Structures are given as C-alpha cells and as structure tokens.
C-alpha cells in the first residue's frame, strides 16, 4: 500500500536543542526565535512526497526534552516507527545526552530508523562539538548531520531521508 501511509515519528533530544523549532521549520517552513518551552508533547503532521516512491504522512510527536526518558516520555514513544535525534552544536553535553536517549529507546523499543541532527549550525562562533564527540558517536553507530532550524540547512534533507527509509521498509 504505497501513497497513503501514516507513520508516527518522535522527536527526541535534550531541552532547548531546537526540537520544536526544527519540526516547525519543517512543517510550516518558518522559524520563530521566540523560545517555546514545550509542555508534554506537540503534534504536527507532515506529508512527504517522494515522487515515484509514493508519499507518506508523518505524525510528528515533539516530546518535551530532558536527558533521560521518564514514564510519560516512554509512553509517548510507544508505537513510533522512527525518531529524530537532535543535539545542540553549541552545547557539547547535549551530544552525550542524545546518545543516552538513543540507547534507552533502543533498549525499550528495539532498533528503529532514526536520523541524528546537530542543530544551530548557524552559530559558528559558539560551536562546541568537535572531532572527539563525533568520533565517540560514530562508534555507537550514529552519524551526526549538522543542521539549522534557523537557516533551514539540512532540515528538509534529514526528514526526507527518514521518510525514504520508512517507505523502503
């Protein structure tokens, strides 16, 4: 059944790494600098059209972030087909926190397709993430893709590649 698929995709990451901004960028293609503390969960819908491969409807669950999964967040993750892992390039610790989240999800829900993004690539001068962090991630099987919810860099690409993975399954 191509053309009318629906999948649940969760967005995970430490607080203030830019989860809501990234989803907003991708759903409405606009960016607001206004800080928004996400309470609980925010749901957005995105239809991704992959031409000949068909289209897929993503139900995006933007889950309020911390560095560990609590009971409620685990419940929110139930039934997800894929997830977006987001870190903040200006805060080194958000990378290792994202790694922890990734391990938790795998432990509970098994291996699911995911895309890892290091957000705020527009903030060159404050960039903290170096070779050390990316190396350690690579060992854990994670390839970080730099992106910016502000400039839009790589956001659309990342989501489309996730959609392609889901359709290809």
Partner 1 sequence: MRPESERLSAIERRLDSPERRSDEIAAVLPQALRRSHERGEFAPAIQKPLAKIMQVAIREEPEHFADALFPVIGPAIRKAVSEAFKTLAQQLNDAIEHSLTPRGLSWRFRAWRSGVPYSHYVMQQTRSFAVEQAFLIHASSGLLIAHAQSATQSGRDKDAISAMFSALQSFVQESFTHDNKGDLETAELGGLTVWAIHGPSSILACVIGGLPPRSLRGELRGILEGIEGAHGELLRGFPGERDVEAVVGPTLRQALDLRGGESVAPAKSATGTMKPIAIIAGLLLLGLLWLIGSTILDHMRERRLAEAFADVPGLIVSTLQSDDGKIVVHGFRDPLSAEPVQLIESAGADLSRVQLKLMPILSLDPEIVLLRTRSILRPPTGVSIELVDNIVQISGQADAAWIEQAQQTARSIPGLEQAIFDLRVNYADPPEAAAGSNDALDQLVAELDGTTVRFTEGTRFLAGDESRIDGLASRLSTFINAANAEGYEYRLRVDGYSDSQGPADLNARLRQQRASALASRLSNAISRGGDMLPSIAVAGSTDADARQAVLRVQLVRPAPQ
Rounded to 5 degrees, what angle do the CA atoms 160, 164, 169 make?
155
* 89: contact with ligand GDP by CB under 6 A: no
For the window 1-40, what string marks contact with partner 1 as x by the rule CB under 8 A? x--xxxxx-------------------------------x
Q: 95 Cβ partners below 8 Å, 6+ apart?
A: 87, 118, 129, 133, 137, 144
For the window 28-47, what string marks contact with Mg ion as x by the rule CB under 5 A? ----------x---------
Q: How many residues bind ligand GDP (CB under 6 A)?
A: 20
* 43: contact with ligand GDP by CB under 6 A: no
Distance CA 74, CA 163 (A): 22
Q: Among 10-18, 48-56, 71-79, 108-116, which window interacts with ligand GDP (CB under 6 A)?
A: 10-18
Contact 91, 126 (CB under 8 A): no
Could you tell me whether strands 41-49 and 82-88 are parallel, antiparallel, or unpaired per DSSP bridges? unpaired
**3-state SS, residue 80:** coil
Q: Of 1 and 52, which CB lies nearer to partner 1 in the complex structure? A: 1
Q: Of 19 and 120, which CB lies nearer to Mg ion in the complex structure? A: 19
Q: 3-state DSSP helix/strand/coil percent for the chain, to nearest 5?
A: 35, 25, 35
The residues binding partner 1 (CB under 8 A) are 1, 4-8, 40-41, 43-45, 57, 59, 61, 71-72, 75-76, 78-81
The residues binding ligand GDP (CB under 6 A) are 13, 15-21, 33, 35-36, 38, 65, 119-120, 122-123, 148-150
């Amino acid at each position: 059944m191509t053309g009318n698929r629906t999948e649940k995709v969760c967005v995970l990451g430490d607080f203030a790494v830019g989860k809501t901004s990234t989803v907003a960028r991708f759903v409405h293609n606009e960016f607001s600098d206004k800080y928004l503390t996400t309470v609980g969960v925010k749901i957005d819908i995105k239809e991704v059209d992959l031409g000949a491969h068909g289209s897929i409807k993503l139900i995006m669950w933007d889950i309020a972030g911390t560095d560990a999964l609590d009971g409620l967040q685990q419940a929110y993750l139930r039934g997800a087909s894929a997830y977006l892992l987001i870190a903040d390039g200006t805060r080194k610790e958000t990378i290792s926190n994202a790694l922890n989240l990734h391990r938790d999800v795998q432990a509970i829900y098994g291996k699911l397709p995911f895309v890892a993004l290091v957000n705020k690539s527009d903030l060159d001068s404050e960039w903290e993430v170096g070779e050390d962090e990316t190396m350690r991630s690579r060992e854990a099987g994670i390839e970080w893709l730099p992106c910016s919810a502000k400039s839009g860099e790589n956001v659309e690409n990342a989501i489309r590649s996730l959609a392609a993975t889901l359709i290809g399954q």
